[in-house]
Amino acid sequence: MRDDHIISAKQLSRSDIEAVLDRAAEIADDPGAVADSKDGELLGLLFFEPSTRTKMSFTTAMKRLGGDTVDMGSVESSSVKKGESLADTVRVIEGYADALVLRHPSEGSAKLASDFVDVPVINAGDGAGQHPTQTLLDLYTIRENAGFDDLTIGIMGDLKYGRTVHSLAHALTNFDASQHFISPESLRLPRSVRYDLHEAGAQVREHTDLEDVLGTLDVLYVTRIQRERFPDENEYRQVAGEYRIDTELLERANDDLTVMHPLPRVDEIAPDVDGTEYATYFEQAHNGVPVRMALLEELL
Amino acid sequence: MRDDHIISAKQLSRSDIEAVLDRAAEIADDPGAVADSKDGELLGLLFFEPSTRTKMSFTTAMKRLGGDTVDMGSVESSSVKKGESLADTVRVIEGYADALVLRHPSEGSAKLASDFVDVPVINAGDGAGQHPTQTLLDLYTIRENAGFDDLTIGIMGDLKYGRTVHSLAHALTNFDASQHFISPESLRLPRSVRYDLHEAGAQVREHTDLEDVLGTLDVLYVTRIQRERFPDENEYRQVAGEYRIDTELLERANDDLTVMHPLPRVDEIAPDVDGTEYATYFEQAHNGVPVRMALLEELL
Amino acid sequence: MRDDHIISAKQLSRSDIEAVLDRAAEIADDPGAVADSKDGELLGLLFFEPSTRTKMSFTTAMKRLGGDTVDMGSVESSSVKKGESLADTVRVIEGYADALVLRHPSEGSAKLASDFVDVPVINAGDGAGQHPTQTLLDLYTIRENAGFDDLTIGIMGDLKYGRTVHSLAHALTNFDASQHFISPESLRLPRSVRYDLHEAGAQVREHTDLEDVLGTLDVLYVTRIQRERFPDENEYRQVAGEYRIDTELLERANDDLTVMHPLPRVDEIAPDVDGTEYATYFEQAHNGVPVRMALLEELL
């Protein structure tokens, strides 16, 4: 990986990914060893959309490296409201920071920003586009809990929208994982994503019923089904109920199944799963810190 | 005090309190001695309600110890809007920080949060419930200015609502202080609080007229009477006028009376009091820093 | 300069200004030399109005000196909403920080704040009043690019409103610069500012057409013409079009013309200017960091 910009998970080769995950694992084992490595360096945070965990995770990662952050604040309190272009905003802010983290509602915005500045840009979500550091922490969690060898993974829920799923599925084509996609008909993977996955050598197997594959899975990646995708409240309730995980259902799973979720969760995973060995979603969120530390260490 | 969670002033014994105040006094005398003691540690700030002074005071305390903060930001910019439970939010954020400070509109929220995480939780206000660090800084200010021996204190204003007053009154039962409560009839201490104070061994003396006790007081703790408590604007004006302090009134007070206020103040204390020896409310606000430094030093 | 408060550019003598600019140039050359000079010190940020670049610039400056910030946050999340006076707010917050940066919509607010606190106050914009650190970074940029000797500067756009222009014009009277003011009739310099400039020894030459003076200028300082100043949309469009810079127009300028803008820009400078040698506005924004570092180093 060149030390310039992190725009898309698609730019990362298998060896790029493994280098980041290896370094993240070293950092997680001994965070004290890097506690001062970015002393005096500043990470610019440009979040044009709300975010809790991504922003806090980057902040924590930078500060655990001994560095600090400079935050643009909310769009409501920024010059954007005065009609400033994104290109101008990032060219000003590159004067304040040694790297920029950008979340923006428009697909392609991170790429555009990277064309205008000399400091590294990290895409923290560009609309329906990419969110590569989420993919890296997902991969890290999979590797730590199930490994990539002979991996069978189920990805369930809203597969139509949601850059997280598309990006993860694409990244997994680097590892010859066996991927199963479980969703209601109305929320299946978009044709373009299926095509991309085929092109990358993946075999896309789709299911409407989790129980068809549950017993074969090493990892089950659950996503949130959003109410606003359904015009009819009753239809939403029925679908959400069918794609909900609880301990009773998990009795038909492998004993060492790893259950993941990008969070926030609403009802997709019953609280009684939280205390089981399956539950890996909070650990997954926490893994964002060493993964982002490894990336920042490399970029800065 | 065990190094786990700070949820309620009621959990603190007299010796717990005195240990914190003693340490705070040492830190106030020589802040440089602890300037690097929490280097590399992070305090998570979860403010589900607006706050200026409490949040800034915790931030300052942590940074004066050489540590840093990770801020969830406003609720509007957080995952809470997506329907995430408090239990999930704190379990994610504990992965980013070494301790959590929580303000939340629901009574009992800090206790709930502490049941779900392994890092220390500090309650910075849970609705009508507790705000123990405010109580500690109030006690610190009283001890520095009047001492606890033979203390006679008047607590005036809105005694019905306001966790600050209830919490302070309860904590003072550890010190055999003589407590007078001065308020209009409609804003007197709730029966349940009076009962609690009786149970804790306090003698509750209530007054509607400050002048009945003013000459006997070592400390006068003034609170804000909020307009929104009164359906009628005229009634509010009349009551607010009767419970207002100025230098003319204070001529009937002890020369060494200490006037306190948790702030923000609106009209309860006339600006002409600010320049007198009585005025201790800004010092009181500033005392939040060494008191919270002492607590954080212990917890982290 | 006395090490107390920075309220107005008018308080700064030529030697004050040159001392700050000299020190800023030294810091820009070797920022590493001051990277720990304010270790453990805290700068309080009180922004009662939105700001991106000023707030980020101060934050960066303080952190590049090894210090840190304590931020009041937005007015919506502060005690101001409860009716607290500015005098009370600053007296509380001076307990948290070693200096205060204040932006407030009311002219005179920074002066008022400085009367109530013992720590240094820096005015970061008080309504239609002053914004002295903007003026200092403008002067720094002019000195670095054109020098003050025999300087001929054009200031163009909205000269009626806009403290930036008034403040810069006044500060330039210290340097015997030849100043030209270019604007539509409806947005010319207010009579009071013209009077002030005359009193300070400046010769005010006003123009409605940039081309009358373009060939003589060393610096062209462009400002934004705001739509809301015009009752009629068509009139706005016409005026905005006449006071817009592009590369074709700049063919009639000196080869070494320096084009500045306080930003944010909307349409006043065409994007095709950005890549030319004329464009100095992003550098100008970046200059805020060493200039503010020099000021903070002196004040703290």
Q: What does the DSSP assignment read for B250-270?
A: HTTS-TT-EEE--S--SSSB-
Q: How close B205 gets to chain C, by Cα (Å)?
A: 30
Query: CA geometry: angle at B289 spanning B107 and C71, to 5°?
Result: 80
Identity of residue A27:
I
Q: Does residue C221 sit in helix, strand or coil?
A: strand
What's the rounded Cα separation, in Å, for the pair A136 and A143? 10
Q: Let me know: does B154 contact B253? Beta carbons within 8 Å.
A: no
Name the residue among B42, B72, B95 with its Cβ closest to that of A52. Answer: B72
Given this model, what pLDDT does residue B119 score? 96
* CATH topology match: B9-130+287-299 vs B133-285: yes
User: Which of B242 and A276 is assigned the larger pLDDT?
Assistant: A276
> CB distance A60–B84 less than 8 Å?
no
pLDDT tens per residue, range A232-272 = 888 888 888 889 999 999 999 999 999 999 999 988 999 99
The 10 Å Cβ neighbour count of residue B56 is 26
> CB distance A70–C64 less than 8 Å?
no
Residue A166 host element (H or E): helix A163-172
* Architecture of the domain delimited by A9-130+288-299: 3-Layer(aba) Sandwich (3.40)
> CB distance A96–C60 less than 8 Å?
yes
pLDDT tens per residue, range A18-62 = 999 999 999 999 999 999 999 999 999 999 998 888 999 999 999
Residues of C annotated as catalytic (active site), given as ranges: 53-54, 82, 103, 131
Among B47, B63, B224, most C C-beta atoms within 10 A, so best to mutate, is B63
Query: Structural domain boundaries of chain B?
Result: 9-130+287-299, 133-285
Measured in whole angstroms, how far is the alpha carbon of residue C119 from the centre of its chain? 23
Name the residue among A60, A74, A271 with its Cβ closest to that of B96. Answer: A60
**b/e for B278-289, b at 16 or more Cβ within 10 A?**
bbbbbebbbbbb
* Architecture of the domain delimited by B9-130+287-299: 3-Layer(aba) Sandwich (3.40)
Given this model, what pLDDT does residue C235 score? 84
- List chain A residues with CB under 8 Å of C52: 72-73, 77-80, 89, 92
What's the rounded Cα separation, in Å, for the pair B64 and B21? 17
pLDDT tens per residue, range C167-190 = 999 999 999 899 999 999 999 999
Of the pLDDT bands very low, low, confident and very high (cuts 50, 70, 90), residue C79 is low
Under CATH, which number does the domain B133-285 receive? 3.40.50.1370
Name the residue among C42, C73, C83 with its Cβ closest to that of B52. Answer: C73
Lookup: tokens for C160: 């009626």
Q: Classify burial at B207, counting beta carbons within 10 Å of its beta carbon; exposed 0-12, middle 13-18, buried 19 or more.
A: middle
Given this model, what pLDDT does residue C82 score? 75
> CB distance B60–C42 less than 8 Å?
yes
Of the pLDDT bands very low, low, confident and very high (cuts 50, 70, 90), residue C78 is low
Name the residue among A42, A72, A80 with its Cβ closest to that of C63. Answer: A42
Measured in whole angstroms, how far is the alpha carbon of residue B237 from the centre of its chain? 26
> CB distance A74–B77 less than 8 Å?
yes
Strand runs (DSSP E) across chain C, as ranges?
42-47, 68-71, 99-104, 121-126, 152-156, 178-182, 205-207, 219-222, 258-260
Give just the sign of the alpha carbon dihedral C55, C60, C65, C71: positive
Q: Does residue B30 sit in helix, strand or coil?
A: coil
- pLDDT digit of tens for each residue in chain B (300 aa)? 444 899 998 899 999 999 999 999 999 999 999 999 999 999 999 999 988 889 999 999 999 999 999 999 988 766 666 789 999 999 999 999 999 999 999 999 999 999 999 999 999 999 888 899 999 999 999 999 999 999 999 999 999 987 889 999 999 999 989 999 999 999 999 999 999 999 998 888 999 999 999 999 999 999 998 887 788 888 888 888 889 999 999 999 999 999 999 999 988 999 999 999 999 999 999 999 999 999 999 999
Q: Percent of chain A scored above 70 by pLDDT?
A: 97
Q: How close A71 gets to chain C, by Cα (Å)?
A: 7
C18-32, C60-74, C110-124, C189-203: range with lowest mean pLDDT? C189-203
Number of separate helices (H) and strands (E) present in chain A: 10, 9
Among B36, B49, B56, most C C-beta atoms within 10 A, so best to mutate, is B56
Name the residue among C72, C92, C96 with its Cβ closest to that of B263. Answer: C92
Given this model, what pLDDT does residue C1 score? 41
- C160 φ, ψ (degrees, to nearest 5): -80, -55
Measured in whole angstroms, how far is the alpha carbon of residue A58 from the centre of its chain? 13
What's the rounded Cα separation, in Å, for the pair B182 and B154? 7
CATH H superfamily, domain C9-129+288-299:
Aspartate/ornithine carbamoyltransferase (3.40.50.1370)
- B265 φ, ψ (degrees, to nearest 5): -100, 150
Given this model, what pLDDT does residue B2 score? 41
Catalytic pick among A131, A163, A166, A180: A131
Q: Is the pLDDT of residue C80 over 60?
A: yes
Lookup: tokens for A90: 């990032």
Given this model, what pLDDT does residue B135 score? 97
CA dihedral A11, A294, A220, A206 (to 10 degrees): 0
Given this model, what pLDDT does residue B204 score? 85
Q: Is the pLDDT of residue C54 over 70?
A: yes
Whether ipTM exceeds 0.90: yes
Residue A104 host element (H or E): strand A99-104
> CB distance B265–C72 less than 8 Å?
no
Query: C-alpha distances in angstroms, B282 versus A88, A122, A147, C96?
Result: 43, 44, 58, 11
- List chain A residues with CB under 8 Å of C56: 44, 70-72, 93, 96
Q: Is the pLDDT of residue C269 over 80?
A: yes
pLDDT tens per residue, range A76-102 = 766 666 789 999 999 999 999 999 999
> CB distance C60–A89 less than 8 Å?
no
Is A261 an annotated catalytic residue?
no
Name the residue among C63, C264, C282 with its Cβ closest to that of A79. Answer: C264
Of the pLDDT bands very low, low, confident and very high (cuts 50, 70, 90), residue A1 is very low
- List chain B residues with CB under 8 Å of C92: 52-53, 263, 282, 285-286
Smallest Cα–Cα separation from A145: which of A292, A257, A64? A257
Given this model, what pLDDT does residue A78 score? 65
Smallest Cα–Cα separation from A72: which of C268, B77, C280, C163? B77
- List chain B residues with CB under 8 Å of C81: 50
> CB distance A73–C53 less than 8 Å?
no
Q: Classify burial at A223, counting beta carbons within 10 Å of its beta carbon; exposed 0-12, middle 13-18, buried 19 or more.
A: buried
- Radius of gyration (C-alpha) of chain C in whole angstroms: 19
What's the rounded Cα separation, in Å, for the pair C66 and C41? 8
* CA atoms within a 13 Å half-sphere pointing along the CA-CB vector of A104: 24
Catalytic pick among B10, B53, B207, B229: B53
Q: What is the mean pLDDT of chain C?
A: 93
What's the rounded Cα separation, in Å, for the pair A47 and C165? 31
Nearest CA in chain A to B91: A282
> CB distance C96–B51 less than 8 Å?
no
pLDDT tens per residue, range C186-203 = 999 999 999 999 999 888
Lookup: tokens for B292: 């919270």
Identity of residue B288:
G
Is A59 an annotated catalytic residue?
no
Q: Let me know: does C97 contact C58? Beta carbons within 8 Å.
A: no
Q: Is the pLDDT of residue C163 over 90?
A: no
Task: Say how many CB pairs under 8 Å bridge B and C.
Answer: 70
